Protein backbone atom coordinates (compact mmCIF):
# COMPACT_ATOMS: atom_id res chain seq x y z
CA UNK A 1 0.00 0.00 0.00
CA UNK A 2 0.94 3.62 -0.52
CA UNK A 3 -0.24 5.67 2.46
CA UNK A 4 -0.36 9.45 2.57
CA UNK A 5 0.02 11.51 5.73
CA UNK A 6 -1.19 15.11 5.61
CA UNK A 7 0.19 17.13 8.48
CA UNK A 8 3.84 16.59 9.43
CA UNK A 9 3.82 18.05 12.93
CA UNK A 10 3.62 16.65 16.45
CA UNK A 11 1.30 13.76 15.59
CA UNK A 12 1.79 13.48 11.82
CA UNK A 13 5.51 12.81 11.94
CA UNK A 14 5.19 9.90 14.44
CA UNK A 15 2.33 8.45 12.38
CA UNK A 16 4.46 8.63 9.24
CA UNK A 17 7.38 6.97 11.05
CA UNK A 18 5.20 4.12 12.28
CA UNK A 19 3.70 3.59 8.84
CA UNK A 20 7.14 3.57 7.22
CA UNK A 21 8.12 0.66 9.49
CA UNK A 22 5.07 -1.47 8.63
CA UNK A 23 5.66 -4.33 6.15
CA UNK A 24 2.34 -3.73 4.38
CA UNK A 25 3.26 -0.14 3.52
CA UNK A 26 5.32 0.13 0.35
CA UNK A 27 5.56 3.92 0.39
CA UNK A 28 4.69 6.79 2.72
CA UNK A 29 3.90 10.14 1.11
CA UNK A 30 4.08 13.20 3.37
CA UNK A 31 2.20 16.45 2.82
CA UNK A 32 2.05 19.66 4.82
CA UNK A 33 1.15 23.27 4.05
CA UNK A 34 4.72 23.91 5.17
CA UNK A 35 6.36 22.22 2.19
CA UNK A 36 9.83 22.55 3.71
CA UNK A 37 8.68 20.67 6.80
CA UNK A 38 7.09 17.94 4.67
CA UNK A 39 10.32 17.60 2.67
CA UNK A 40 12.43 17.38 5.83
CA UNK A 41 10.20 14.74 7.44
CA UNK A 42 10.10 12.72 4.22
CA UNK A 43 13.87 12.87 3.91
CA UNK A 44 14.36 11.72 7.50
CA UNK A 45 11.99 8.77 7.06
CA UNK A 46 13.00 7.71 3.58
CA UNK A 47 9.53 8.71 2.39
CA UNK A 48 8.35 10.95 -0.44
CA UNK A 49 7.04 14.50 -0.07
CA UNK A 50 3.97 15.71 -1.99
CA UNK A 51 4.04 19.35 -3.05
CA UNK A 52 0.25 19.71 -2.90
CA UNK A 53 -2.82 18.03 -1.47
CA UNK A 54 -3.95 17.06 -4.98
CA UNK A 55 -0.61 15.36 -5.60
CA UNK A 56 -0.94 13.46 -2.33
CA UNK A 57 -4.51 12.29 -2.93
CA UNK A 58 -3.79 11.19 -6.50
CA UNK A 59 -0.77 9.08 -5.58
CA UNK A 60 -1.83 7.02 -2.54
CA UNK A 61 -4.20 4.18 -1.63
CA UNK A 62 -5.19 5.58 1.78
CA UNK A 63 -4.61 8.76 3.77
CA UNK A 64 -4.03 9.72 7.40
CA UNK A 65 -5.18 13.22 8.39
CA UNK A 66 -2.90 14.57 11.11
CA UNK A 67 -2.95 18.29 10.31
CA UNK A 68 -4.08 21.05 12.65
CA UNK A 69 -7.63 20.52 13.91
CA UNK A 70 -9.10 23.46 11.99
CA UNK A 71 -8.09 21.75 8.73
CA UNK A 72 -9.62 18.34 9.48
CA UNK A 73 -13.05 18.93 7.94
CA UNK A 74 -11.79 20.20 4.58
CA UNK A 75 -9.16 17.47 4.38
CA UNK A 76 -11.66 14.75 5.27
CA UNK A 77 -14.09 15.92 2.60
CA UNK A 78 -11.32 16.06 -0.01
CA UNK A 79 -10.06 12.59 0.87
CA UNK A 80 -13.44 10.85 0.82
CA UNK A 81 -14.38 12.69 -2.39
CA UNK A 82 -11.19 11.19 -3.85
CA UNK A 83 -12.62 7.78 -2.81
CA UNK A 84 -9.78 7.08 -0.41
CA UNK A 85 -9.99 5.25 2.93
CA UNK A 86 -9.23 7.77 5.68
CA UNK A 87 -7.94 7.80 9.21
CA UNK A 88 -8.67 11.24 10.69
CA UNK A 89 -7.37 12.47 14.02
CA UNK A 90 -10.09 13.72 16.33
CA UNK A 91 -12.19 15.79 16.01
CA UNK A 92 -13.84 16.12 12.62
CA UNK A 93 -14.31 19.77 13.55
CA UNK A 94 -14.83 21.79 16.71
CA UNK A 95 -18.12 22.90 15.17
CA UNK A 96 -20.88 20.38 15.84
CA UNK A 97 -23.05 21.31 12.87
CA UNK A 98 -20.14 21.01 10.47
CA UNK A 99 -19.20 17.67 12.02
CA UNK A 100 -22.72 16.37 11.46
CA UNK A 101 -22.66 17.55 7.85
CA UNK A 102 -19.35 15.79 7.19
CA UNK A 103 -20.58 12.62 8.89
CA UNK A 104 -23.64 12.63 6.61
CA UNK A 105 -21.37 13.11 3.58
CA UNK A 106 -19.20 10.16 4.65
CA UNK A 107 -22.33 7.99 4.96
CA UNK A 108 -23.61 9.15 1.58
CA UNK A 109 -20.38 7.99 -0.07
CA UNK A 110 -20.15 4.88 2.12
CA UNK A 111 -16.54 5.94 2.74
CA UNK A 112 -14.32 3.90 5.08
CA UNK A 113 -13.25 6.34 7.82
CA UNK A 114 -11.55 5.56 11.11
CA UNK A 115 -11.51 8.41 13.65
CA UNK A 116 -8.34 8.74 15.70
CA UNK A 117 -9.47 8.10 19.27
CA UNK A 118 -6.40 6.06 20.17
CA UNK A 119 -7.61 5.00 23.63
CA UNK A 120 -9.88 2.46 21.92
CA UNK A 121 -6.69 0.66 20.88
CA UNK A 122 -4.95 0.79 24.27
CA UNK A 123 -4.69 -2.60 26.02
CA UNK A 124 -6.01 -1.28 29.34
CA UNK A 125 -9.11 0.39 27.90
CA UNK A 126 -9.83 -2.68 25.79
CA UNK A 127 -9.55 -4.92 28.87
CA UNK A 128 -11.91 -2.60 30.77
CA UNK A 129 -14.44 -2.79 27.96
CA UNK A 130 -14.25 -6.59 27.91
CA UNK A 131 -14.69 -6.72 31.69
CA UNK A 132 -17.79 -4.52 31.59
CA UNK A 133 -19.27 -6.43 28.65
CA UNK A 134 -18.70 -9.81 30.34
CA UNK A 135 -20.42 -8.67 33.54
CA UNK A 136 -17.20 -9.03 35.52
CA UNK A 137 -17.73 -5.68 37.24
CA UNK A 138 -21.30 -6.53 38.17
CA UNK A 139 -23.45 -3.42 38.48
CA UNK A 140 -21.32 -0.47 37.43
CA UNK A 141 -21.59 2.28 40.03
CA UNK A 142 -19.12 5.00 39.09
CA UNK A 143 -16.60 5.75 36.35
CA UNK A 144 -13.89 8.26 37.14
CA UNK A 145 -11.49 9.72 34.57
CA UNK A 146 -8.48 11.96 35.09
CA UNK A 147 -6.37 13.78 32.53
CA UNK A 148 -3.29 15.87 33.25
CA UNK A 149 -0.90 17.33 30.71
CA UNK A 150 2.72 17.75 31.80
CA UNK A 151 2.69 21.43 30.88
CA UNK A 152 0.50 23.97 29.07
CA UNK A 153 0.55 24.01 25.29
CA UNK A 154 1.80 26.90 23.18
CA UNK A 155 -0.38 29.97 22.75
CA UNK A 156 -0.90 29.09 19.09
CA UNK A 157 -2.25 25.68 20.09
CA UNK A 158 -4.47 27.11 22.84
CA UNK A 159 -5.95 29.63 20.41
CA UNK A 160 -7.17 26.88 18.06
CA UNK A 161 -7.76 24.02 20.48
CA UNK A 162 -11.49 24.47 20.95
CA UNK A 163 -11.20 24.50 24.74
CA UNK A 164 -10.73 21.94 27.49
CA UNK A 165 -13.80 19.83 26.79
CA UNK A 166 -13.58 19.71 22.98
CA UNK A 167 -9.81 19.23 22.93
CA UNK A 168 -8.86 17.14 25.97
CA UNK A 169 -11.99 15.70 27.58
CA UNK A 170 -13.43 14.61 24.22
CA UNK A 171 -11.09 11.59 24.39
CA UNK A 172 -12.77 10.48 27.61
CA UNK A 173 -16.27 11.09 26.31
CA UNK A 174 -15.41 8.58 23.59
CA UNK A 175 -13.59 6.25 26.00
CA UNK A 176 -16.54 6.20 28.40
CA UNK A 177 -18.89 5.27 25.54
CA UNK A 178 -16.41 2.64 24.32
CA UNK A 179 -15.80 1.02 27.72
CA UNK A 180 -19.31 1.13 29.19
CA UNK A 181 -21.42 0.76 26.05
CA UNK A 182 -23.58 3.59 27.39
CA UNK A 183 -24.36 7.09 26.17
CA UNK A 184 -23.84 10.31 28.10
CA UNK A 185 -27.31 11.75 28.82
CA UNK A 186 -26.57 14.62 31.23
CA UNK A 187 -23.56 16.74 32.16
CA UNK A 188 -22.72 19.39 34.73
CA UNK A 189 -19.40 21.13 34.13
CA UNK A 190 -17.15 23.60 35.92
CA UNK A 191 -13.78 25.10 35.05
CA UNK A 192 -11.23 27.63 36.28
CA UNK A 193 -7.97 29.32 35.44
CA UNK A 194 -5.78 28.35 38.36
CA UNK A 195 -2.24 29.10 37.23
CA UNK A 196 -1.94 30.06 33.57
CA UNK A 197 -3.71 33.32 32.58
CA UNK A 198 -3.04 32.66 28.90
CA UNK A 199 -6.07 30.36 28.90
CA UNK A 200 -8.40 33.14 30.01
CA UNK A 201 -7.35 35.16 26.98
CA UNK A 202 -9.05 32.54 24.81
CA UNK A 203 -12.08 31.97 27.05
CA UNK A 204 -10.56 28.66 28.08
CA UNK A 205 -9.45 27.10 31.38
CA UNK A 206 -6.41 25.25 32.70
CA UNK A 207 -8.47 23.15 35.16
CA UNK A 208 -11.90 21.57 34.70
CA UNK A 209 -14.31 18.98 36.05
CA UNK A 210 -17.62 17.49 34.98
CA UNK A 211 -20.22 15.18 36.50
CA UNK A 212 -22.03 12.89 34.04
CA UNK A 213 -25.05 10.63 34.04
CA UNK A 214 -24.97 7.70 31.62
CA UNK A 215 -27.95 6.14 29.90
CA UNK A 216 -28.17 3.18 32.33
CA UNK A 217 -27.91 5.44 35.40
CA UNK A 218 -24.18 4.99 35.99
CA UNK A 219 -22.48 8.13 37.30
CA UNK A 220 -19.16 9.44 36.00
CA UNK A 221 -16.76 12.12 37.19
CA UNK A 222 -14.12 13.70 34.94
CA UNK A 223 -11.23 15.94 36.07
CA UNK A 224 -8.59 17.72 33.99
CA UNK A 225 -5.59 19.99 34.42
CA UNK A 226 -3.16 21.43 31.91
CA UNK A 227 -0.20 21.06 34.23
CA UNK A 228 1.19 18.11 36.16
CA UNK A 229 4.81 18.68 37.25
CA UNK A 230 5.32 14.89 37.45
CA UNK A 231 4.40 14.06 33.84
CA UNK A 232 1.55 12.96 31.59
CA UNK A 233 -1.27 11.31 33.51
CA UNK A 234 -4.40 9.78 31.95
CA UNK A 235 -6.48 7.26 33.91
CA UNK A 236 -9.91 5.65 34.08
CA UNK A 237 -11.26 4.05 37.26
CA UNK A 238 -14.34 1.81 37.30
CA UNK A 239 -16.15 0.78 40.48
CA UNK A 240 -18.78 -1.97 40.41
CA UNK A 241 -20.60 -4.42 42.64
CA UNK A 242 -18.14 -7.23 41.80
CA UNK A 243 -14.81 -5.51 41.15
CA UNK A 244 -12.91 -2.22 41.15
CA UNK A 245 -10.29 -1.58 38.44
CA UNK A 246 -8.12 1.16 37.01
CA UNK A 247 -6.65 1.81 33.55
CA UNK A 248 -3.45 3.83 33.27
CA UNK A 249 -2.04 2.93 36.68
CA UNK A 250 1.34 1.27 36.27
CA UNK A 251 4.92 1.73 37.46
CA UNK A 252 5.38 4.85 35.29
CA UNK A 253 2.22 6.66 36.34
CA UNK A 254 3.27 10.22 37.34
CA UNK A 255 1.59 10.18 40.74
CA UNK A 256 3.43 9.90 44.05
CA UNK A 257 1.97 7.88 46.92
CA UNK A 258 2.38 9.24 50.46
CA UNK A 259 1.61 5.91 52.13
CA UNK A 260 4.42 4.44 54.26
CA UNK A 261 6.33 1.77 52.34
CA UNK A 262 4.88 2.73 48.97
CA UNK A 263 7.31 2.51 46.03
CA UNK A 264 8.95 5.78 45.02
CA UNK A 265 7.99 7.66 41.89
CA UNK A 266 9.42 6.00 38.79
CA UNK A 267 12.63 7.71 37.60
CA UNK A 268 11.04 8.12 34.15
CA UNK A 269 7.30 8.81 34.41
CA UNK A 270 5.37 9.22 31.19
CA UNK A 271 6.53 12.52 29.65
CA UNK A 272 3.80 12.89 27.02
CA UNK A 273 1.00 11.19 25.12
CA UNK A 274 3.38 9.75 22.51
CA UNK A 275 5.09 7.67 25.18
CA UNK A 276 1.96 6.75 27.13
CA UNK A 277 -0.03 5.67 24.06
CA UNK A 278 2.75 4.54 21.72
CA UNK A 279 1.49 0.95 21.53
CA UNK A 280 -2.08 2.14 21.02
CA UNK A 281 -1.06 4.30 18.07
CA UNK A 282 0.69 1.29 16.50
CA UNK A 283 -2.42 -0.86 16.86
CA UNK A 284 -4.65 1.94 15.60
CA UNK A 285 -2.63 2.29 12.39
CA UNK A 286 -2.53 -1.48 11.89
CA UNK A 287 -6.32 -1.60 12.22
CA UNK A 288 -6.61 1.29 9.78
CA UNK A 289 -4.64 -0.64 7.18
CA UNK A 290 -7.13 -3.50 7.60
CA UNK A 291 -10.02 -1.05 7.19
CA UNK A 292 -8.36 0.43 4.09
CA UNK A 293 -7.95 -3.04 2.56
CA UNK A 294 -11.60 -3.89 3.24
CA UNK A 295 -10.73 -6.60 5.76
CA UNK A 296 -12.92 -5.09 8.48
CA UNK A 297 -15.26 -2.20 9.15
CA UNK A 298 -14.14 0.86 11.08
CA UNK A 299 -14.23 0.35 14.87
CA UNK A 300 -14.37 4.13 15.47
CA UNK A 301 -16.69 5.92 13.08
CA UNK A 302 -17.63 9.50 12.26
CA UNK A 303 -20.80 8.92 14.30
CA UNK A 304 -18.66 8.10 17.34
CA UNK A 305 -16.79 11.38 16.82
CA UNK A 306 -20.05 13.33 16.62
CA UNK A 307 -21.38 11.74 19.81
CA UNK A 308 -18.22 12.61 21.74
CA UNK A 309 -18.38 16.18 20.44
CA UNK A 310 -22.04 16.47 21.49
CA UNK A 311 -21.04 15.67 25.08
CA UNK A 312 -18.25 18.26 24.91
CA UNK A 313 -20.67 20.85 23.53
CA UNK A 314 -23.07 20.07 26.38
CA UNK A 315 -20.26 20.71 28.88
CA UNK A 316 -19.50 24.05 27.22
CA UNK A 317 -23.16 25.03 27.52
CA UNK A 318 -23.29 23.85 31.12
CA UNK A 319 -20.24 25.98 31.88
CA UNK A 320 -21.74 29.08 30.22
CA UNK A 321 -25.14 28.72 31.86
CA UNK A 322 -24.08 27.26 35.24
CA UNK A 323 -26.57 24.41 35.14
CA UNK A 324 -26.91 20.73 34.26
CA UNK A 325 -27.48 20.14 30.54
CA UNK A 326 -29.26 17.15 29.04
CA UNK A 327 -27.77 15.80 25.82
CA UNK A 328 -31.26 16.06 24.31
CA UNK A 329 -30.66 19.83 24.26
CA UNK A 330 -27.71 19.31 21.90
CA UNK A 331 -29.11 18.28 18.49
Predicted confidence (pLDDT) per residue in 236-276, tens digit: 999 999 999 999 999 999 999 999 999 999 999 999 999 99
- SS3 at position 65: strand
Q: Rounded distance, CA 75 to CA 170, Å?
A: 21
Binned at pLDDT 50, 70 and 90, residue 331 comes out as confident
Are 113 and 86 contacting, i.e. CB atoms less than 8 angstroms apart?
Answer: yes
Q: Rounded distance, CA 265 to CA 254, Å?
A: 7
Above 90 in pLDDT, residue 295? Answer: yes
What number is the average pLDDT over the span 5-20?
97
pLDDT score recorded for residue 89: 97
Domain 2-118+282-300 falls under CATH 3.30.1490.20: no
Pairing relationship of beta strands 140-148 and 219-225 according to DSSP bridges: parallel
**Rg of the chain in Å (alpha carbons):** 20
Above 90 in pLDDT, residue 200? Answer: yes
Could you give the percent of the chain with pLDDT greater than 90?
Answer: 99
CB atoms within 10 A of CB 71: 17
Across the chain, mean pLDDT equals 97
What number is the average pLDDT over the span 175-195?
98
Above 90 in pLDDT, residue 300? Answer: yes
Binned at pLDDT 50, 70 and 90, residue 96 comes out as very high
Residues of the chain with CATH 3.30.360.10: 120-276+308-329
Residue 7 has, within 13 A of its CA and on its CB side, a CA count of 21
pLDDT score recorded for residue 212: 98
Above 90 in pLDDT, residue 302? Answer: yes
Are 79 and 60 contacting, i.e. CB atoms less than 8 angstroms apart?
Answer: no
Above 90 in pLDDT, residue 49? Answer: yes
CATH number of 120-276+308-329: 3.30.360.10
Q: Rounded distance, CA 39 to CA 249, Å?
A: 39
Kindly give, in sequence order, each residue whose CB lies less than 8 Å from that of residue 98, ignoring residues fewer than 6 positions away: 73, 92
What number is the average pLDDT over the span 194-199?
97
Residues of the chain with CATH 3.40.50.720: 2-118+282-300
Above 90 in pLDDT, residue 279? Answer: yes
Question: Whole-model pTM?
Answer: 0.95
What number is the average pLDDT over the span 148-159?
94
pLDDT score recorded for residue 73: 97
Of 106-110, 157-161, 192-196, 302-306, least confident by mean pLDDT is: 157-161
Smallest Cα–Cα separation from 252: which of 276, 269, 235?
269
Amino acid sequence: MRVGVTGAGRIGRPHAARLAAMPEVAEVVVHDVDTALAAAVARDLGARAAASLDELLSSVDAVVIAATTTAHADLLRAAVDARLPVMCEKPISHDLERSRELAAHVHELNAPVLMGFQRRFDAGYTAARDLVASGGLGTLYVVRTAGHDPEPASEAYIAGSGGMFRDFAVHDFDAIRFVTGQEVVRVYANAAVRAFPIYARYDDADTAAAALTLSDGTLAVMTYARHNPRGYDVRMELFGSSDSVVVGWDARAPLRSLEPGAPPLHPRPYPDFHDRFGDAYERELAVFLDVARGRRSSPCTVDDAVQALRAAAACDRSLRESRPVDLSEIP
